[in-house]
Structure 1
Amino acid sequence: MKLTIDGKDYTYEQPLSLKDVAKDLKEKDMLAATVNGRLRELSYIPTKDSHVEFLKFNHSDAIRIYESTLRYVIAMALRNLYPKVKIKFNYSISRSILAVLDGLDEILNAQIVLEIDQEVKRLIEQDLTITRKRVSIGEAIKIYNDLGMQDKISILGYREEDYVNLYECSQYINYMFGYMLPSTGFLRDYKLFLYHPGFIIQYPRAEFNGQIPAFNDEPTFGSALKEVAKWGKIIQGNTIPKINEYAKERKLSVDFVNMCETKHAHQLAELGEMIASNIDSIRLIGIAGPSSSGKTTFSNRLRVELMTRGIKPVMISIDDYYLGKDSAPKNEDGSPDLEHVDALDVELFNHDMLALIQGQTVVLPHFNFMSGKREAGHTIHLPKDSPIIIEGIHALNEKLTSSIPKHQKFNIYISPQTQLHIDDHNPISITELRLLRRLVRDQKYRNSSAIDTLDMWPSVRRGEFKWIYPTQKQANYVFNSELTYEFAVLKKHAVPQLQAISRDNRHYITANRLLKFLKYFSSIDDDIVPCNSLLREFIGGSSFN
């Protein structure tokens, strides 16, 4: 059998696991591999000639496997120490996981977290083998029932297949809805520490080249996530089975959609009150957030909210200040970096914003994306007490608005914040939600295939880490653009696109991962979604278009 690795051919007289192949090549820090383009665990054994690419700590798919295994081992450690205590994992601030315990006889303290940490280290040091096994749905229900994992039994009722994969390690059984490392010893690094109401788990990140980033406590975001948790309790809709209960009947679906939309309305009202109470000082409202957060619709809804309070904001597009491809900074490969702040005419933008605030008349530029050149736009004069609204990737970047004093700026960071779960041990990442939104929107409005969108996604993510996340601490308000019902609506739009990606395509890994949890959602009809909903920005039919 011939394996082609890094352009070199290696011949083996008998099949070996990828783990043994890596060991034979004296390769270190391997976490997973692709075999002929398909993601595989290191326990996988190729049985024919194949192209193999080993994945390390700087690869997002490899880190996803690492994180799943870490959650598995932490849940296992807790089961060993406190068999009756349940643990729930939530994605949290500073790219970490918050673990919350239920059923503990005492208040969680640093000593208990230390005990859990020591048990995790013991399991890692033993390098225990993690084995995948396939069982029938009936057998899985019996296993989960014996383990008291009712949350996992609930999701099985929506599984299309008549079997389920489980992972077993030293008689501990669980499933993390993803691939796993071959043994506990592959867990190289992590951090645990007490953080109310549970404990924080940090792990290596691909975007930090396999290092654990510094933990930054973010009170504004922490407060937003607390509201998310409170919301989940109010609607009893923080897991897929609970959401599916709302999709059983149209009347229930209508109520559910309207509840979620009203949550957005409440946030807008709160924002309107904050801005109105300080309107004598606020001259510029900046709105920024990662891709597919709903910035455009949100900006319009905020404009309408302020109009109801007698405030008449003016919306100005940052995109009109692009310099053009020829004048943009260059990426390492020589291509124009259109997401760089210096791809904008920063000097002119500062000049125009300050001039407007000072009561001058300004001829705004207009960037013609067909010709790739800037033209003269319309002439405006800002009425007294009318704030300017700007939205975009650099809206909170101080460099872009350095001529305007900070006390005259009100910064809003918008992003979907969710604590939605497949089950207690498997939270759904907000990045996955944003990617699904973008897939649906790009196909709807740009005639782009899922493959086109997935091709662009790594570049989009790099821009977010470079330009958006570092400025989020400037925010005066975090707007949670998540709508708990939206997966049930996005499903029918996204699934056909994802299913069209063939097994031999480079994006099959991502498509398969998204399909794995999307298939558990029951659908909710588009016509229930209000015309001014942020979701309409992605599925179409927005009253603001």
Structure 2
Amino acid sequence: DSSTANRPMGAIRTIIKRDGQLVWYDRSRITNAIFKAAAASSGGFSFEEAERLALLVEKRTAESYVELIPTVEDLQDIVEAVLMENGHIKAARAYIIYRQKRTEIREAKQGAVEATDNIPYKLIYEVLRWNMEHGCESIEGINRIIEEGSYPDLVMACEERYANECRAAGKRVLDHGDGVRLVIVAGPSSSGKTTTTIKMKQQLSRHGKKLKAFHVDNYFFDLEDHPMDEFGDYDYETPQALDIELINKHLEQLLAGKSVKTPHYDFHTGKRTLNVYEMHLEDNEILLMDCLHGLYSDMTRSVADAHKFRLYIETLGQLRKGNDEFMRWTDHRLMRRMIRDSWSRSHDPMLTLTHWHYVRKSELQYIIPFIGNVDFVVNSAMPYEFPVLKNKLFRHFPEAIQLYRDDFKRQDAFLRAQRVMQFLEPLNDAVDLSCIPEDALFREFIGDSVYQY
């Protein structure tokens, strides 16, 4: 195709669009966008300079995403950084405005909300409307709630909304009838699948449905068998990190009324032990599976679609800063996981930050393209989380910015840390955690939950 000349060996070949589609990378689009930004600013520069800068963007991106495919947003973030670093401040500002206008054009077609990753705009609009009704759609709104002493009321309102969605999901399962043998609770990392699985189990049990958890995390291969990158990090976010063949074998046997012995995986040692837990499914029982890649077709290919119910969970946040910039859903989940990994998997928060590019790559490749097949969507974003997240994590982001600013192979970590720090900076974090219920989904990440994870 016409963009072949713009894809030299060792450089970027493909990028991932906002809807998860993989397309050829075309440097001319970056060059033209930079040149238009320069022309829109009072200080403009030549097309040759735009080409030079586009090459720098390409080089930076190629160095930052050696074994990964960058997203459109990754490229745009690097364009902004390169313009600023090369002294083109006015052009950088014009480019930021251009990005915002393009976002507004996309939003105007469906409604003025932030919606990505194949989630229907109608659903996202309902989230924004709920936030606006409760005064928590912006940083300023949350600060006002804290100052007025209404933070505990916000916590209770968020928990009630989430509980209602879990009840509605349970009702939808019941409406599907007795044909459902496997309920899949799927969603990206740190979206709250485990707590939602527990609440789904409680909800259906009240209606006489016996549920049995199928713990997919026990099917990880030994960590030492996963590919290691140059930094010593493992990519265990891909479905191939799991023993998919054994998962399907056990699912098929269980639904056929046979007994199996499932494995056990120790996250602290990275080791799996086979044939540990005896498991059998009675005729009146339903398997309940909490799985990051539950929508990925190969994960449950041994079970007919007619016997599956797919529940998808995501942090469908609609929280804005004063300039109408939205907190990205993936950044929200990153902060959840930075906290949880620190106490549940003995991971330093900085390790979680630098590992996150693997998480996002896997989401775009194995989760987002399959969202259209789900039967129900639950929103796990709680606006009350952000003051707590800031209180527990904010100190790590300046350190990450300092460490990775000039490390082009860590640009994802640098840009993400910079973005999150700037977003959270004006937020008031003086809140009392005691008003957060012991059975709250957020406790899955900050600890002290009544549930065993």
TM class, shorter-length: 0.7 to 0.9
Partner Cα distance (2:203, 2:440) in 1 = 14
Give the superposition deviation at 1:62.
4.8
> Partner of 1:415 in structure 2?
314
After TM superposition, the score normalised by the length of structure 2 is 0.73
Give the superposition deviation at 1:446.
3.2
> Partner of 1:394 in structure 2?
293
Tell me if 1:463 matches 2:374: no
Tell me if 1:29 matches 2:70: no
Does structure 2 retain, via aligned residues, the 8 Å contact 1:272–1:305?
Answer: yes
> Taking structure 1 as reference, are residues 511 and 272 closer, same or farther at Cα in structure 2, changes over 3 Å only?
same
Tell me if 1:180 matches 2:110: no
Does structure 2 retain, via aligned residues, the 8 Å contact 1:363–1:380?
Answer: yes
> Taking structure 1 as reference, are residues 471 and 231 closer, same or farther at Cα in structure 2, changes over 3 Å only?
same
Tell me if 1:302 matches 2:200: yes
Q: 2:382 aligns with which of 483, 486, 497?
A: 483
> Partner of 1:121 in structure 2?
none
Structure 2 unmatched ranges of 5 or more? 1-43, 61-69, 82-86, 406-412
For 2:336, give the aligned amino acid.
R
> Taking structure 1 as reference, are residues 338 and 447 closer, same or farther at Cα in structure 2, changes over 3 Å only?
closer
Does structure 2 retain, via aligned residues, the 8 Å contact 1:418–1:430?
Answer: yes
Partner Cα distance (1:287, 1:417) in 2 = 16
Q: 1:271 aligns with which of 160, 169, 176?
A: 169
Q: 1:453 aligns with which of 347, 352, 355?
A: 352
| SS of 1:374 mapped into structure 2 | strand
The answer to which structure has the higher helix fraction is 2
For 1:536, give the aligned amino acid.
R
> Partner of 2:432 in structure 1?
525
Tell me if 1:359 matches 2:257: yes
- After superposition, residues 236-275 of structure 1 pair within 5 angstroms as 236-250=135-149, 252-275=150-173
> Partner of 1:292 in structure 2?
190
> Taking structure 1 as reference, are residues 271 and 333 closer, same or farther at Cα in structure 2, changes over 3 Å only?
same
Partner Cα distance (1:479, 1:130) in 2 = 43
> Partner of 1:472 in structure 2?
371
Give the superposition deviation at 1:416.
0.3
Identity, % of aligned positions: 27
For 2:254, give the aligned amino acid.
L
Does structure 2 retain, via aligned residues, the 8 Å contact 1:311–1:386?
Answer: yes
| SS of 1:366 mapped into structure 2 | strand
Partner Cα distance (1:327, 1:435) in 2 = 25
> Partner of 2:451 in structure 1?
544
Partner Cα distance (2:334, 2:164) in 1 = 26
For 2:143, give the aligned amino acid.
N
| SS of 1:359 mapped into structure 2 | coil
Q: Which has the higher contact order (CA 8 A, sep 6+)?
A: 2
Partner Cα distance (1:521, 1:200) in 2 = 21
For 1:302, give the aligned amino acid.
M
> Partner of 2:391 in structure 1?
492
Partner Cα distance (1:61, 1:354) in 2 = 41
> Partner of 1:151 in structure 2?
none
> Taking structure 1 as reference, are residues 421 and 305 closer, same or farther at Cα in structure 2, changes over 3 Å only?
same
Does structure 2 retain, via aligned residues, the 8 Å contact 1:65–1:181?
Answer: no
Give the superposition deviation at 1:264.
0.4
Partner Cα distance (2:80, 2:377) in 1 = 27
> Taking structure 1 as reference, are residues 497 and 21 closer, same or farther at Cα in structure 2, changes over 3 Å only?
farther
> Taking structure 1 as reference, are residues 465 and 371 closer, same or farther at Cα in structure 2, changes over 3 Å only?
closer
For 2:76, give the aligned amino acid.
I
> Taking structure 1 as reference, are residues 484 and 186 closer, same or farther at Cα in structure 2, changes over 3 Å only?
closer
| SS of 2:321 mapped into structure 1 | strand
Does structure 1 retain, via aligned residues, the 8 Å contact 2:113–2:124?
Answer: no
Structure 1 unmatched ranges of 5 or more? 1-18, 36-56, 69-128, 133-168, 170-178, 203-214
CA RMSD in angstroms, aligned pairs only: 4.0
| SS of 2:318 mapped into structure 1 | coil
Does structure 1 retain, via aligned residues, the 8 Å contact 2:80–2:96?
Answer: no
Partner Cα distance (1:448, 1:421) in 2 = 30
> Partner of 1:346 in structure 2?
244
Give the superposition deviation at 1:198.
4.0
After TM superposition, the score normalised by the length of structure 1 is 0.62
For 1:403, give the aligned amino acid.
S
For 1:404, give the aligned amino acid.
V
